[in-house]
Chains A and B, each alone.
Chain A
Amino acid sequence: MNTQTDIAIADRQLGGTLMELRNITLRFGGVEAIKNISFDIREGEIRAIIGPNGAGKSSMLNVISGFYVPQEGEVWFRGERRGPVKPYEVARLGIARTFQNIALFDGMSVLDNIMTGRLHRMKAGFLSQALWWGPAEREEIENRAQVERIIDFLEIQNIRKTPVGRLPYGLKKRVELARALAAEPQLLLLDEPMAGMNVEEKEDMSRFVLDVNDEFGTTIALIEHDMGVVMDLSDRVVVMDYGRKIGDGSPDEVRNNQEVIDAYLGVAHD
């Protein structure tokens, strides 16, 4: 890791707490996927959650996004305790996410896919939509302009009318990021944004993640397996293993944590 990025990260001003997770425990039947974990996500930071397979990272992300409701513990978002929410209400709270296995709408064009990211902002009534008159058309054009900004930003202008099903994997990942960004979220959750990519695609994606964080000021929480990427991108890292939190701090702190090294290199668990 070069020293310049070290300095850049050290210089960054982190804001107040955006989300706080207190003593979260999540069970599926008899299995404890998450055991009494607490950590926070601060405004404007890139927060990584790492850990070996089956550590409970994706479950954690699902708790943050409100898809799973933990049996114990509290989720505080923007200074308020968040009760149980319906999955479709989460977008309105300002949380958007991408998925580990791409979850795009294959039958729709890239443009339509990204437009769906703004669905929760569309207010035109049924009649206006049916007659394509007044609010519906105006709303469509306004939101299209917003979406085009994101298309420019992620450099996917040339494929905007292509059906998503025809795109290669790397571009699909980018379209999915675009869809999440279109929602203009405060908190963006990325579930393995670089899984299955080659080096060049990873570099592109890393640049986009940093740019999103930089230009839009979006807070990002991400899960990633590529340690090089995680250490370069993130401001702070949570390490999980077997549902427990075994490390939390800056990339350097985490890297030198004995428990983390054990989890990754493997020692006998008793």
Chain B
Amino acid sequence: MLYREAGDFKTSYRDDGQTFPIRLDRVAYYAVLIVAFLIVPFVINDYWANAVVVPFLIYAIAALGLNILTGYAGQVSLGTGGFMAVGAYAVYKLMTTFPEINIIIHILLAGGITAIVGVLFGLPSLRIKGFYLAVATLAAQFFLVWLFNKVPWFYNYSASGQITAPTRTVFGLAVTGPSTSAAAKYLICLLFVFILAWVARNLTRGTLGRKWMAIRDMDIAAEIIGVNPLSAKLSAFAVSSFFVGVSGALLFSVYLGAAEVGEAFGINKSFLVLFMIIIGGLGSIFGSFAGAAFMVLMPVVLKNLLVGQFGWATDLAAHFELMIVGALIVFFLIAEPHGLARLWALTKEKLRLWPFPH
């Protein structure tokens, strides 16, 4: 079974439109799912969950969200950190106000609240584009962080100004709070990633996705064709913010456990997620995952290499790490400006012809 589409004839438009048209891709996809859901939970330990897998899954959701807005709908946003904070504080308020309701519902509601906030801050996009919109969303970033710092109601008047996630369970299994097991953290994040990635794929391949891409590629032509720019842009902001909000809620409640807004959701976070989608590939679901994996894994790998392998001092390694990650980003952007997703697509194209490229 080689990587071929020859002989694999599609006889219906339904087959032709499927996500993985090549059989080997489909098999690989199901294999990954089986490993992720049935094998990894039993072997995962605290180090892997906390250092690599859980942050990767959570940032993958944020990257998917930003990719919908920036990659698919063409609206640049630097407010991702702020919107993640909205998700985090929303889930915190919901968890503490309605402790009897399931945490999964809270996380989804937090996404919904973030979607509303996102639409509000998306309104300027109807008038301004590109860099100017980026500046407007930057305002959202700073305003939201300021708001969560200044209004004590948001952090339940706690003395430290921090928010701390109480223990909540799903099917009797703790998923938030200090006693959470690595497997539980992993599974709840994986569940959200799986469903949201599937939703993102469905939205982007259908009517709404075409509206977004039409607005991105040429807004005037899109309008003449019958795309209402108001609803297209605002729906992109809503969906994107929903994803980012869910990711913020998970980051706070499942991963961090306690957070201070300026530190956890500052402008750095906005840039981090933006780098993820630029490196991964704009307008690509796979790219969102690849970018998130790159940005989460690279520091871990470098740290292990420099400290563990070469025996450097930790602080020296930490500074070097920043420089190397920066240099790698520059290198990647020069080598392949369309990101890892394009690199992957090219590899697949080559593989399709291999070993007879002519």
Contact = CB atoms under 8 A, between A and B. Distances in A.
A144 B17 contact: yes
B206 A67 contact: no
Interface in A99-138: 99, 103-108, 112, 115-117, 119-120, 122, 124, 126, 129-132, 136-137
Nearest to A137: B14
Interface stretch (B81-89, B216-224, B268-276, B298-306): B216-224
B224 A65 contact: yes
Tier of interface size on chain A: 35 or more
Contacts, number: 104
Given A107-B283, A131-B202, A116 B223 contact: no
A104 B221 contact: yes
Interface string A45-79: 00000000000000000000101000000000000
Interface residues of B, number: 30
Contacts of B199: 130-131
B224 A90 contact: yes
A97 interface: yes
B17 A140 contact: yes
Q: What secondary structure prevails in chain B residues at the interface with A?
A: helix
A108 B17 contact: no
Contact of A119 (B14, B202, B216, B226): B226
B224 A119 contact: no
Nearest to A67: B224
B222 to A, nearest CB: 7
B210 A119 contact: yes
B226 A106 contact: no
Nearest 10 pairs of A and B residues by beta carbon: A91-B226, A120-B226, A103-B221, A105-B217, A132-B202, A122-B207, A87-B223, A144-B13, A88-B228, A130-B199
Given A115-B210, A124-B207, A129-B202, 17 more contacts: A88-B225, A88-B228, A91-B225, A103-B218, A104-B218, A105-B213, A107-B216, A108-B210, A108-B213, A116-B225, A119-B214, A129-B203, A132-B202, A139-B207, A140-B207, A144-B13, A183-B226
Interface of B: 12-14, 17, 199, 202-203, 205-208, 210-211, 213-214, 216-218, 220-229, 235, 283
Interface of A: 65, 67, 86-92, 96-97, 99, 103-108, 112, 115-117, 119-120, 122, 124, 126, 129-132, 136-137, 139-141, 144-145, 148, 179, 183
